[in-house]
Amino acid sequence: MKIQKTALIAGNWKMNGTIKEAKRLVSSLLEKYNATPSLDAKILICPPMTLLNYVGNLLEGTNIFLGGQNCHYEVSGAHTGEVSANMMRDSGCSHVIVGHSERRSQYGETDKEIFCKVEAVLEHGMKAIMCVGETLKSRQEGNAINYVTRQLDEVLNSRLSLENLVIAYEPIWAIGSGKTPKISEIEEIHEVIKKVLSKSLSQNHEVPVIYGGSVNPTNAEEVLGLEAVNGVLVGGASLNTNDFWEIVNAAS
């Protein structure tokens, strides 16, 4: 089963990569990209902040997009170690991931703070990829849908124009674990997210919802084949160009 719309295939390198490693990864990606005359997928690479400029330069002249993994919601100021949405834009990013579950769990990011980051990213003319996803406990207790829709409340209660918002549904227990929800569970939750958000949007626009959590060359085609899935956010497999490219091909 093939998807109808151009899927977003986003690679989240997390805290991985030196300049040398980035050179190797991007060169082999570009080799495959240049050897593929028509590609029905939108590719996004999200390296660590230190590599944004370097990777951005390597990607220049291609249709591969550059993204950040996080940003601060203020434009500038006394926030040692932080980087603003404005700076991400300045480094060539078209997208920024916000509210990844690793940031929620390791750095205590709240829904309110994540909403402020979404706002900052959109205000700076980029697309915000806002991550949501339930814990294993809430999935097992049958509360996954409630858990995820509650994470959308801040966005839903705002007057934010959501045209440049992308939601990444990433069950926490599926990230880096090799486990995934059942295909019917992915479909169900994507449909719910779209339905909930559509109430806040103009009739002609639907918020893209991408899936993340142990996507690999074996399961990518089935996941991307779901009508309610508009792409995938790939962690571990994005650090292996062969695997990543197989996932890109599963979308084409």
Task: Decide if residue 12 touches ligand PEP (CB under 6 A).
Answer: yes
Among 133, 181, 213, 231, which residue interacts with ligand PEP (rule: CB under 6 A)? 213
Stretch that binds ligand PEP, among 112-120, 143-151, 154-162, 234-242 (CB under 6 A): 234-242
| Shortest Å, Cβ 232 to ligand PEP | 8
Stretch that binds ligand PEP, among 41-49, 88-96, 159-167, 235-243 (CB under 6 A): 235-243
Among 22, 175, 197, 210, which residue interacts with ligand PEP (rule: CB under 6 A)? 175
**Catalytic residue, candidates 72, 95, 100, 190:** 100
Clarify whether 21 is annotated catalytic. Answer: no
Strands (E), 47-117: 65-68, 95-98
Find residue 10's DSSP bridge partners. 44, 233
Clarify whether 124 is annotated catalytic. Answer: no
Stretch that binds ligand PEP, among 34-42, 141-149, 169-177, 185-193 (CB under 6 A): 169-177
Alpha-carbon distance of 252 to 247, in angstroms, equals 9
Could you say which DSSP state residue 238 is in?
A: G
Task: Decide if residue 200 touches ligand PEP (CB under 6 A).
Answer: no
Task: Decide if residue 69 touches ligand PEP (CB under 6 A).
Answer: no
**Catalytic residue, candidates 113, 134, 154, 170:** 170
CB 250 within 8 A of CB 216: no
| Shortest Å, Cβ 149 to ligand PEP | 20
Q: Which of 235, 220, 237 is nearest to 186 (CA)?
A: 220
| Shortest Å, Cβ 77 to ligand PEP | 28
Q: Per-residue DSSP letters for 158-186?
A: S----TTEEEEE--GGGTTTS----HHHH
SS3 (DSSP) at 216: coil
Alpha-carbon distance of 95 to 122, in angstroms, equals 9
Among 117, 212, 250, 251, which residue interacts with ligand PEP (rule: CB under 6 A)? 212
Alpha-carbon distance of 165 to 252, in angstroms, equals 23
Find residue 136's DSSP bridge partners. none
Nearest residue to ligand PEP, by Cβ distance, number only: 235
Residues annotated as part of the active site: 100, 170
Q: Which residues bind ligand PEP (CB under 6 A)?
A: 12, 170, 175-176, 212-215, 233-237
